[in-house]
Structure 1
Amino acid sequence: MGIARKFAEHITGLGPDIMTEEVNRWALYGLLDYMAVTLAGSDEPCAEIAGKVLGGGSVGQSLIYGKANRMSALDAALINGTASHAHDFDDMNNSMGGHPSAVLLPAILAVAEEIGASGKEMLHAYIVGFETQARLGKGVHMHHYEKGWHPTSTMGTFGATAACCVLLKLDVDTTECAMAIAASMASGIKSNFGTMTKPLHAGLACRNGVQAARLAEAGFIGSPEAFEHSQGFFEVYNGAGTYDVDKVFDGFGDPLDILDPGIAVKQYPCCGSTHSAADVAIGLYDSEGVPLDQIKHVDVWTHPRRLKHTNRPDPKGVLDAKFSVQYVVSRCLLEGRVILEHFDEGAYNDPTVRSLMDKLDAAPHPDMDPESYDHYGAEVRIEKTDGTMISERVKMARGRTTSDPIPNDKMKAKFDACASRIMSADQVNAVYAAIQSIESCGDIREFAAVVENGDADAVQAAE
């Protein structure tokens, strides 16, 4: 049996019975975080440009979140996917090695509006798509990431495809073709981190997922050997000896990856590889509160895998600053926080922050094995002007797994902070309530109407 066929059988085999109370709770957790960051990102330049380029000729019934216009599911998936990753504030998944919800929910919601799917059907598709991309991530290991691929978009293309197949209720044969088609669509390279193209990766994965599923539904054919062929996905994207197909399918769906390790929600609107260092720096601020004029030098050590793309001592722009561990740690040491406003235009050039960045060195941690999968820790040490040293170290940033989740009150605070950038307080509350009751929503267009109008009464207008 070919690998595309195995995917199809596993995807179609995960029926609605997987939706236990705990699974649904985590799916809602992901939806809440997705809506927060998408609303916040909807007026960012990358999303605005994508909307302008696609908006002229796009006709459809799928909402562009944060806007009052609708487009085709393909275009809505791309624009909303780009918006959701614009701030790099969206959730992560350790198995996938990327951002799960930003490549699933824009595609799912766009198609759900087209077909009038229910809230439960939408969540079911999300859970299966999450599992698919997470399991594939386990199979390609970190070799895929270190080769230069961006798993958010490469793994995400398959997750979005699987989710759309579930939502469209495609059979095994058609799902097999969709996954094979998707193998020719996966893309996204790490050299574009720190630019508008990184959030575009998420948008493209969403669009590709919709397109692969719709093409297969219409009878389009892909190779049944698209994955295992000598010139197929695994050999081309990873290479011989750097992937393990057994890890993809052993335990597929049992337990579900959304439960363990699950969704990793970000506390800070910047690259997740800076978050452990940010946690340490905030801890030092809270416990020590060392003023700038008493700081002689700062050392930051992270895993070498994390430092490769975050060692940016002189960020040249807002998006570049999101990947600068020097900038993020300096903000945290000075203010005890790093928030969306710290990445508004020009904020990265704040002279006080820059003066601390000049005193900061970042390096690979000498105790961290470059090949280890235990690669989420960080240590920060401050040398004070009086010669004393203070330091802290963490193994992993808070929220990185379901065993240490972000508390509900902080999740609500994150949602409010993000959504209020474009909505009134009443509108924010209406959308929050609609998310909490999504399981009872009979037609996702009712939910979209609330988001569009910021008013629960809009449901009647959509019916």
Structure 2
Amino acid sequence: MPTDPETTSTEAAVAILPALAERISAYRIEDLDDHARQLVRTAFTDTLGVALAGSGFPGIAAIRTAAGIAASENGSLVLGTAERVPALDAGLLNGVAAHALDFDDGNSAMGGHPSAMLVPALLALGEETDASVPDVAVAYAAGYEVMIRLAYGLNPAHYQRGWHPTSTIGVIGVAAAAARLLRLSTEHTAIAMAVAVSHSAGVKANFGTMTKPLHVGQAVRNGILGAKLAATGYTANPGALDHRQGFLTVYTGPDGFDSERIVAGLSGPPLVCSEHNPIKLYACCHSTHGAIEAAREIRRSPGFDAGRVEAVEITVDPNRMPHTDRPVLTEALSGKFSLQYVTSRALLAGTVALADFDGNAHHDPATLKLMGRVRVKPAAPGGPANSFTATVRTEQSDGTVLNATRGPHGSGSNAPVDPSLLRQKFTDCAGRVLPADRVTALSEAVMRFPDSGTTVRELMRLAEVHRPTNAKVTP
């Protein structure tokens, strides 16, 4: 059979990966302005906290058993323990922990969670290489640049097709970050990302199951692997993104991407100096947070009586619906992707808590009763594109009608996260597995990030969890 030249050609019409590699290989700590340092500080503080809280996720033990992961004396910390394993395995397990609660930060352009990918990868690889905190901060900026630029050119088509951008785009960003931390050449950095392209995976059909955080863990591991392979001289096609049969066309279709947007303005400041990652106040899909905020506002309104609510209408951007219009829950985790569930909880309790996604919380009779009265509908055409804003309307048996329209906390604002809010969330999350004195010490260390002379290895010693044999961790 003759060879198809289109499947073997290594041409790259735009040469995106080499262009990105050249840009991020030049990054230095001096390139990070105050906004960038705040973003990085928030990313590491928030992600480390939620990963510690998520370290008791049952899926982690299952993965360790299934993958046969063994301890390594000189490895990297498995969060929630004092045990160390090879960096690839630590990246896998800690990546799952970072996303297990769906409490990690987000980015609207990416349509996903950049820090759940980058932070576990850089902590694992940084501990293995005894990297400094400033080095890790620069590597975060490098990986972030790649992720967000790819999202600029791929979304919304990529997201709408059912891909999970956190992992599909994130694995390439992790490879870039790991390559920068390993100080690979521009050529090898492009190869690292090209290797990662072939590990891009994750579909939204698995949202609300144990497999969603596995998307993140596996992508973290494979991104690190791509960089490590490139360092050995491993080969891959640097045109793997823009080849006729490369990532852009395969994952979005021939008309679903804009390659020029990916490389536009590469000579400008790093995107970490201008982008924004809102942190979550609720441990569920960010697409539901606008409805939660609107429901909380209604609950505070004079005349509201949850016991008299006969109908609830939630109006959201159509892009929010495919993964969050979920009137029936199969397990507690699926509540994280149910507008009906989280809005009902907010109307009944005034907030949405971690415990709402544990055990049999989704069987609560009052919540199920109210969920049966909730209808989700798409917003009319002509509004803001890909909006996370939601409108909630309640009707009561006494004739009271209440409306509220809200976006997620922090949406539409580039103001830095309130340090007291960030510290409180970290304390609440880390305190699920660490004693109070260790929470305080670790909090002080990460809140100085990246303006610290400490190393990742020193930082991770503060995150060790020492507990009696067979002690249980609250998931």
Q: Same fold (TM over 0.5)?
A: yes
Kindly provide the CA deviation profile for residues 370-418 of structure 1, in whole angstroms up to 9, marking residues without a partner as x: xx52421110011011112110112x21223552554222222211221
Asked if the contact 1:399–1:405 (Cα under 8 Å) also holds between the matched residues in 2, the reply is no
Q: Work out whether 1:422 is the aligned partner of 2:415.
A: no
**Aligned partner (choices 3, 24, 28) of residue 15 of structure 1:** 28
Tell me how far apart the structure 2 counterparts of residues 373 and 233 of structure 1 sit (CA, whole Å).
Answer: 25
Which residue of the partner structure matches residue 160 of structure 2?
Answer: 146
Asked if the contact 1:97–1:151 (Cα under 8 Å) also holds between the matched residues in 2, the reply is yes
Asked if the contact 1:260–1:402 (Cα under 8 Å) also holds between the matched residues in 2, the reply is no
Partner SS, residue 112 of structure 1: helix
Tell me how far apart the structure 2 counterparts of residues 435 and 53 of structure 1 sit (CA, whole Å).
Answer: 33
Asked if the contact 1:195–1:319 (Cα under 8 Å) also holds between the matched residues in 2, the reply is yes
Partner SS, residue 334 of structure 1: helix
Residue pairs, 1:306-345, within 5 angstroms: 306-345=320-359
More displaced stretch, 144-153 vs 260-269: 260-269
Which residue of the partner structure matches residue 58 of structure 2?
Answer: 45
> Cα distance 1:58–1:147, how it changes in 2: closer, same or farther (>3 A)?
farther
> Cα distance 1:24–1:261, how it changes in 2: closer, same or farther (>3 A)?
closer
Tell me how far apart the structure 1 counterparts of residues 302 and 223 of structure 2 sit (CA, whole Å).
Answer: 48
Tell me how far apart the structure 1 counterparts of residues 453 and 67 of structure 2 sit (CA, whole Å).
Answer: 30
> Cα distance 1:309–1:296, how it changes in 2: closer, same or farther (>3 A)?
same
Asked if the contact 1:302–1:377 (Cα under 8 Å) also holds between the matched residues in 2, the reply is yes
Asked if the contact 1:263–1:402 (Cα under 8 Å) also holds between the matched residues in 2, the reply is no
| Amino acid in structure 2 at the alignment position of 1:10 | R
- Percent identical pairs in the alignment equals 38
What is the Cα deviation at residue 205 of structure 1? 1.3
Q: TM-score, normalised by structure 2?
A: 0.91
What is the Cα deviation at residue 448 of structure 1? 0.6
| Amino acid in structure 1 at the alignment position of 2:442 | V
What is the Cα deviation at residue 298 of structure 1? 1.0
Partner SS, residue 274 of structure 2: helix
Asked if the contact 1:260–1:401 (Cα under 8 Å) also holds between the matched residues in 2, the reply is no
Q: Work out whether 1:377 is the aligned partner of 2:377.
A: no
Kindly provide the CA deviation profile for residues 63-99 of structure 1, in whole angstroms up to 9, marking residues without a partner as x: 0111111101100001000010001110001121110
Q: How many pairs align?
A: 451
Tell me how far apart the structure 1 counterparts of residues 354 and 69 of structure 2 sit (CA, whole Å).
Answer: 30
Kindly provide the CA deviation profile for residues 32-78 of structure 1, in whole angstroms up to 9, marking residues without a partner as x: 11011100100011222223334543535100111111101100001
Partner SS, residue 172 of structure 2: helix
Which residue of the partner structure matches residue 460 of structure 1?
Answer: none
Which residue of the partner structure matches residue 422 of structure 2?
Answer: 411
Partner SS, residue 300 of structure 1: strand
More displaced stretch, 155-164 vs 221-230: 221-230
Q: TM-score, normalised by structure 1?
A: 0.94
Partner SS, residue 314 of structure 1: coil
Residue pairs, 1:172-251, within 5 angstroms: 172-251=186-265
More displaced stretch, 118-127 vs 1-10: 1-10
More displaced stretch, 357-366 vs 78-87: 357-366
Kindly provide the CA deviation profile for residues 205-260 of structure 1, in whole angstroms up to 9, marking residues without a partner as x: 11011000000000101012211111111111111121111111112373433343
Q: Work out whether 1:281 is the aligned partner of 2:295.
A: yes
What is the Cα deviation at residue 26 of structure 1? 1.4
> Cα distance 1:68–1:53, how it changes in 2: closer, same or farther (>3 A)?
farther
Partner SS, residue 308 of structure 1: helix
Tell me how far apart the structure 2 counterparts of residues 55 and 402 of structure 1 sit (CA, whole Å).
Answer: 45
Runs of 4+ in 1 over 4 A off after TM superposition: none
Kindly provide the CA deviation profile for residues 311-353 of structure 1, in whole angstroms up to 9, marking residues without a partner as x: 1111111111110110100010111110111111111111111
Asked if the contact 1:42–1:65 (Cα under 8 Å) also holds between the matched residues in 2, the reply is yes
| Amino acid in structure 2 at the alignment position of 1:9 | E
Tell me how far apart the structure 1 counterparts of residues 361 and 43 of structure 2 sit (CA, whole Å).
Answer: 29
**Aligned partner (choices 101, 105, 112) of residue 87 of structure 1:** 101
> Cα distance 1:253–1:191, how it changes in 2: closer, same or farther (>3 A)?
farther
Structure 2 unmatched ranges of 5 or more: 1-13, 467-475
Asked if the contact 1:90–1:266 (Cα under 8 Å) also holds between the matched residues in 2, the reply is yes
Tell me how far apart the structure 2 counterparts of residues 297 and 82 of structure 1 sit (CA, whole Å).
Answer: 37
Which residue of the partner structure matches residue 8 of structure 2?
Answer: none
Tell me how far apart the structure 1 counterparts of residues 224 and 110 of structure 2 sit (CA, whole Å).
Answer: 20
Partner SS, residue 375 of structure 2: strand
Which residue of the partner structure matches residue 365 of structure 1?
Answer: 379
Tell me how far apart the structure 1 counterparts of residues 108 and 270 of structure 2 sit (CA, whole Å).
Answer: 13
Partner SS, residue 169 of structure 2: helix
Tell me how far apart the structure 2 counterparts of residues 280 and 146 of structure 1 sit (CA, whole Å).
Answer: 25
What is the Cα deviation at residue 2 of structure 1? 2.1
Partner SS, residue 113 of structure 1: helix
Asked if the contact 1:111–1:164 (Cα under 8 Å) also holds between the matched residues in 2, the reply is yes
More displaced stretch, 419-428 vs 182-191: 419-428
| Amino acid in structure 2 at the alignment position of 1:117 | A
Asked if the contact 2:178–2:223 (Cα under 8 Å) also holds between the matched residues in 1, the reply is yes
Kindly provide the CA deviation profile for residues 409-438 of structure 1, in whole angstroms up to 9, marking residues without a partner as x: 222221122111112222211210121234
> Cα distance 1:71–1:429, how it changes in 2: closer, same or farther (>3 A)?
same
Tell me how far apart the structure 1 counterparts of residues 48 and 350 of structure 2 sit (CA, whole Å).
Answer: 26
Tell me how far apart the structure 1 counterparts of residues 193 and 25 of structure 2 sit (CA, whole Å).
Answer: 12
> Cα distance 1:51–1:399, how it changes in 2: closer, same or farther (>3 A)?
farther
Asked if the contact 1:81–1:202 (Cα under 8 Å) also holds between the matched residues in 2, the reply is yes
Which residue of the partner structure matches residue 391 of structure 1?
Answer: 403
Structure 1 unmatched ranges of 5 or more: 455-463
Tell me how far apart the structure 2 counterparts of residues 118 and 289 of structure 1 sit (CA, whole Å).
Answer: 56
**Aligned partner (choices 31, 41, 50) of residue 28 of structure 1:** 41
Residue pairs, 1:24-173, within 5 angstroms: 24-54=37-67, 56-57=69-70, 59=72, 60-173=74-187
Tell me how far apart the structure 2 counterparts of residues 289 and 435 of structure 1 sit (CA, whole Å).
Answer: 44
